Each structure stands twice: as C-alpha cells, then as structure tokens.
Structure 1
Amino acid sequence: MSILNWSSLSLFSSKPPPLCKGKISVGAITKVLLRDLPPGRIVVLQHRDLDEVAAQELIDQKVKAVINCQETMSGAYPTHGPLMLLQQHIPIWEADASVFEAFTTNSEIVVYEDRLFLGDQEIPCSAFTREKWLSMQQQANERTTKLMEQFIENTLTHAMREMHAVMEPLPAISLQTNLADRHVLIVSRGKGYKKDLLAAKAYVSEVKPILIGVDGGADALLECGYQPHLIIGDMDSVTDRALTCGAELVVHAYADGTAPGLLRTNALGLPAHVLPCFGTSEDAALLLAFEKQCEVLVTVGARTHMIDFLEKGRAGMGSTLLVRMKIGARLMDIKSVGILYKQQKWTKEAGSTLLLSLFFIALGFFQLHWIVKRVAHAVWKLGGEG
C-alpha cells in the first residue's frame, strides 16, 4: 500500500503525525556499519539480540532511531543493550527480516506507530518497548541455569579438541615492533572498553606500554589520543583511518591459512603479516605478545564471562580458557591495574600535600620566631632606656 492510498483512507486532518523521519544507513553487520556512520541517522540493522557494546556505540554515534529486521531480543540470554537505547530516548522498531533488502543507505523513511514508509512502499513494523524488554529479560533469566550448563559443556568440548594446538608455538612472523620485556596493552571491543581505556591514562603515561588494537580496539586507542603500535584481527570492525595510521598490521587467519582480512588490507595497499591461529583475534593477540616474550600483558575490553561470549556469537570459550591458562601470571586486566595506579596517584598527591603543609608550618614557625625575637628586642631596648 502506498502513502497516497493510505492517506486517502482517512481525513487529512485526522492523520497522525510521524513519530520519526530522516535518512537511513543500512548494515547487515552492525560493527561494519558503525565504522563510518554519520551522526543523526536512522539505522536499519539485522542484529538478533542487540548487545551492550553495539548499543553503546549506536548511542555514541548519536543515531536517531533503530529499525531492526531481526529479533532485538529473543530471550535466549539476558542483555541490557535494547534498554540502554530506550533509556537514551532512541526508539526501536522491529520489521520482518524479509523486508531488509528493500532498504538502501541515504533513502528517506517516515515512521508511524505500526508502519513505516520508504518512498511509496508501506512496511509494517512494531515498537520494541521497555515492557517487552522486561518480559524478554525475565524469560532469559529463567533459562540461565540451563544456558550455563550448555556453555560449560561446549567450553570443555572445544578445550579438549584444541588443547594440543595451544601447546604448539604460533607460526613465526617477523615483527618490526619489539615486544620483548615490555608491558603490552591489548584493547578489544568488549563491554566498557572505551571507559576503561580512559581510566588507564596514568598507567599508559607512566609505563608507556606497547599498544595493540584488536580490530575496532585500534579506533578506541586513536580516539583517546594514542598511536597503536600493532593492529591484529579479521579487519572487519576497524576503520580505514586506523588501518592507515602507521601501525603494523597482523591479519588473523584461520588455522588452514585462509585470511579474509587480507582483502581489506590489499584493497588499501597496506602490507600485513598473516597469522594463522585458532580461537578469536583476541586470543591470537594474547598468544602473539606472550610468545614475543612480553613482560606483562594488560587487557582492556577482554571478554570474561558467559554473556560476553554469547553476545559475540560464541557458544563457549574453549580457546580463551586455554590461552589464559598458558599465559598465566603475566596476564592482568586494566581494572586491577587501574586500582593500583589510582592508589599510587593518591599516595603521590598525599605526599605532595604533606610536604607543602610541612613547608608552610615551618615557614609560619620561622616567622613567629622572628616576630618573638623582634618583640623581645624591643622590650629589652625600652627597658634599657628607662
């Protein structure tokens, strides 16, 4: 049904005003869409179970609204992503997956309560509300125990399959960046990664670690004013700006050597190492730094628990468990490092305050002593004259 036909069914004066209208940006893969998303857009996604990392980046990009051609929340597991958008007054509408191909970037759409118009095409939609989020969250919470059992089984199964691979050294690549005996900071696009990176300012300033961005983690480093030394990953969520910033590039390949990320680096004319490695790009970055004899590994935005991995589309964490077991005591999270540096900062500030206080006390004592001497001398002199 066209806009004209729909309008003719009711009086012009009674037609409700649109709830939202504007230009759209379309992306089947949300993290790819976010690479170069202009602010103020209505985004059209295919994102089942909208996770918190994606939600926060949509908020940061100041999107006007979200049209999701998948289930924004299926109830499979708990997530606060949709609620984060609604709390920032960013409305969400859901449309059928079959209509996704009808949308093209830079088209204009007009959204009403239960339908939207793309040119003269009418598309049914429904609002995703706080009430629906609460219902799905409760449903997901009821499934958590069963979900945990499945996650543990999957983790152990894959850990058993990959335990021999983790014991083998990585294929040798000759890096220009020397990691030996250095602190290495590895930034991934995990929950709260931008906030944690900002909180690491004192650590980065004092220790000056080697900075590694895992895909889009490189952009977070640049946003904070840091130049990444290395970028490692599938090269799907990192921007062209980051790839061309001068960092050494390592394309994470499958164990058989297939490296889809090379298509991107080759298209930009950039040299890149290829690193075949099982597991995630985050796992590959950790193993690479470990085998290059780094002193300490500090992670920012690393995935640590079941929901983190489920949001990434991984039903277990076998490779990540094995990698952390191999690295052992060298591995630290930025949150624990941040606490240490906050304490050191407080100690330094307290020490400086104490020194200044002692200085002014001493100065006051000296001035008081000088005044007493002058008064005593004046009294003596008066007594002598009398």
Structure 2
Amino acid sequence: MKFAVRSRQAPALPGVHGPARVHRRTASVLGRLHAGDVAVLDHLDMDRASAQALVDAGVVAVVNASPMISGRYPNLGPQLLVEAGLTVVDSVGPEIFDRVRDGAALRVDGDAVHAGGTQVAEGRELTVDLVASEMHGARSGLSAQLESFTHNSTEFLRREQDLLLHGHGVPRTATEMAGRPVVVAVRSHGWEQELRGIKPFVREQRPVLVGVDRGADALASAGHRPDVVVVTGGSDDLPAAAVLRRARDVVVLVERGAPRSATEPFERLGIRPLRFETSATTEDAALLLASAHEASLIVGVGMHATLADFLDRRRSGLASTFLTRLKLGPDLVDAAAVPRLYDGAVRPRHLVGALVAGVLALAAAVSVTPVGQQWVDELSPPVTSTTSDLIDNVRGILP
C-alpha cells in the first residue's frame, strides 16, 4: 500500500528575484531588458531619462556599481526609481561584474545582492528619505559646476559656431519643413501625457513628426508615423527597424570626419541614412534640424524644460542644450503648454448652435417675402366669431 506524501515547499526567500542583465554601460543594458529583470550597471549620477527607461522596461530592481548621487549636482534619476517602487542598491563596487554573469538568477534583499544562495555584493539601499537628503546636499554644492559649464559652453560654441549661427552642415531632408509646424518627440518622463495633450494640434495642423532615438517608437505606439527619425550612430538606444523603414528620412549623428562604416548598420536594413556631423546631443540636433529648415513652430515632447531637468543633463550635453535653446528662442514651445494655448477641436454644441442660428436666420428672411406671408397666414389659427366680437369691442373702447 502506498501512502500519500505531502511535499513541503521551501519558504520563499525575502527580497526581489529576477534574472540579471549585466553591462557597465546603461545603454547596453536597456536594449536587453524585459519585465521582471534585475538591471546591473555602472552609472554615476543617474539621470531621469535613463531611470525612466528602466521603469518603462519593467525591471524589479537596479543594482549600481557607482553611487546614484555623487553630490556634484541634483540628478533626478534616483528619485524617479524609488518613487516607482523599484528596489535600488548602489555603491556595490565594480567587483560585481566579475561575480555575476548575465542571465543569472539574482535576489536583492535590502542592501545585499545574492546569486545562487551566496551573497555577491553589498551596497546601500536607496529609500525616498535617503534620496531627499542626498539631493539636498547636491543642490548646495551646485555652484562648483558653474566654472566647468562656462568652459564647456565656450568650447561647444567654438566647435559648432557654423551650425548654431548659420545652419551649416545640416542635411537636406526629403521631408519639407519650411513654413510648417514640427513636433520633436523624445521618450522621456511624461511623454505619454504630453502626446495625448497635443492630439487636437497634430490632427488639425498636420505637423512634421520627428522622433529622437526611442522617441520614434513612442510616436509609433501613440498611432503616429514619424516623418523623420534622428539617431546617434553606434548607439544601442535605437528605435525598432520597422519604425526606421517607415520614416521618410533617417538622420544619423556621427563625429566629424567619421568613416562611412558609421552608417553601414542602417544600410544593411535597407535604409539610406543622412549623415549629420555634429557633437550636439541627439535631441538638440533634431531641434537644430527643424530650425535650419525654417519650421514655423517647434513643439517639444518629453523635452527637458525646467531648470531641474536642464541641470540633470549629462555633463557633455549641458552646453549643447543651453546654446540650442538660445538659438531657437521663441520658436520652441513645450508640449505641456500647447493644450493651454490651442484648442481647435469643434464641439457638438458648436455645431448645434451654428445650425440653430442658421435656421432662425433663414426663417426670418423667408417670412418677409410674399410666399412667407402666405405660409404664415396658412399656419395661423382661424379667428372665431367670439374672438371677432372681442376684437370689435376692444376697437370701440380705444380712441
């Protein structure tokens, strides 16, 4: 006789669990992430754009070899991660890349990282309160960055003066932008809400749609077809191949004097890209492209519009962003402001009001014609004898 034996499962270990996606460069990790993964990377002072990409990928934890906040400036990435509910551990050291292989099952519990039942790293778990405290200290030390910013701006202006002042070096696109509004979309914090807010504007004004890197995927997911896609050559943060093929123009940013091989990956996809030799960031290059082609208005989706966003840029891109905004001036409008300034949608009540006003105007015009008078007489109720006598009595009383 066989007796039923109840199997006892081992209790689940505390913390969050998931397969590791390991690479020192954040951009390389982002291209391989899936929901439930644990991102293991080395990113000093994580910016909000990278943090938003991690949140969008659905990771459950982020393990950083370097400090998330070094104190040099108030970067916004860590705050976004902890507010999204992710487990974040930083300052675990570069040794983690020797101890954890890509795809290994990881468990992150507090400030400890475990692989295969063994603790492989220990760092610092970030909480909302800790991030707020670190950010306060980073703001107080911001003045030390001003000298470096001034130097970088001067160097960028020296390198890109022909582009900034005269628009030299901008490739000629097949998409006509002169005199038309242009929407430049970046996949960043709040881009979904901003795209929804400008739907009436896009539907009625038919602007040129420009996607920046994964911003082209954002446009496609919102039901739009990007006319122009601007990407960085050699980047891992590229939009889907189908989106690139549907675009009328694909502009690839390369270093000055870069060989033709820089654009060969796009040619293998059947795309004939346009080279744009500049040291500006991809986002700024897209804005300068629209400006050089004399767009009537440029609407930025997911742009870095506030002072905090501006300071959160990579140090190499800070001068590019600052000088590009000065170049565009009033031609650039943030997408968040468009719904407050533009409401071109026709409401049903507007149609009903116009219809009623038209009918009343037509009736008044017809009523003064002989035919209209005849219709009025025919529609009027007959006058009875009692009514006739009443009218005669009233006439007799009146002088």
Quote the residue 1:203 is aligned against: 201
Question: Alpha carbons of 1:143 and 1:316: their partners in 2 closer, same or farther (altered >3 Å)?
Answer: farther
Which amino acid is 1:273 matched to? L
Q: Tell me by how many angstroms 1:75 deviates.
A: 1.9
Q: Distance in 2 between matches of 1:199 and 1:209?
A: 15
AA matched with 2:271: L
Q: Which residue of 2 aligns with 1:243?
A: 244
CA distance in 2, matches of 1:304, 1:260: 35
Contact 1:183 1:295 in 2 (8 A): yes
Alpha carbons of structure 1 residues 174 and 39: separation in structure 2 relative to 1, 3 Å: same
Q: Does 1:119 align with 2:128?
A: no
Deviations 1:178-235 (A, max 9, x none): 2233221111244433332222111111111111111121111112111111111205
Name 2:315's counterpart in structure 1: 314
Distance 1:270 1:33, change over 3 A: farther
Q: Which moved further from structure 2: 204-213 or 249-258?
A: 249-258
CA root-mean-square deviation: 3.8
Instruction: Write the mapping of 1:73-152 to structure 2, written as runs, cut at 5 A.
Output: 73-94=69-90, 95-119=92-116, 121-125=118-122, 126-148=124-146, 150-152=148-150
**2:58 aligns with one of 48, 57, 62:** 62
My pick for the range that moved more, 270-279 or 208-217, is 270-279
- Structure 2, unmatched stretches of 5+, are 1-10, 362-379, 389-399
TM-score by length of 2: 0.76
Aligned mate of 2:41, from 36, 39, 45: 45
**2:187 is the counterpart of 1:186:** no
Relative distance call for 1:151 and 1:304 in structure 2 (3 A) is: farther
1:262 counterpart letter in structure 2: T
Displacement of 1:358: 7.6
The question of whether the paired residues in 1 share the 8 Å contact of 2:255 and 2:278 is answered with: yes
Deviation by residue 1:136-193 (Cα, 9 ceiling, x = unmatched): 1121121133334543454345335543453344336453222233221111244433
Q: SS state of the match for residue 109, structure 1?
A: strand
3-state SS, counterpart of residue 97 of structure 1: coil
What's 1:369 paired with?
none
Relative to structure 1, is the Cα distance of residues 142 and 271 closer, same or farther in structure 2, using a 3 angstrom cutoff?
A: same
- Residue identity over aligned pairs, in percent, reads 27
Pair 106,266 (structure 1): closer, same or farther in 2 beyond 3 Å: farther
Q: Which amino acid aligns with 2:178?
A: A
Length, aligned pairs only: 364
Q: Is the 8 Å Cα contact of residues 53 and 190 (structure 1) preserved in structure 2?
A: yes
2:21 aligns with one of 19, 25, 34: 25
Per-residue CA deviations over 1:107-130 (Å, capped at 9, x if unaligned) read 211233343222365312232223
Tell me, which stretches of 5 or more residues in structure 1 are unaligned? 1-14, 363-375
Query: 1:111/1:336 Cα in 2 relative to 1: closer, same or farther (>3 Å)?
Result: closer
Alpha-carbon distance between aligned partners in 1 of 2:303 and 2:109, rounded to the nearest angstrom: 40
> Which residue matches 1:285?
286
- Displacement after TM superposition at 1:360 (Å): 12
SS at match of 2:69: coil
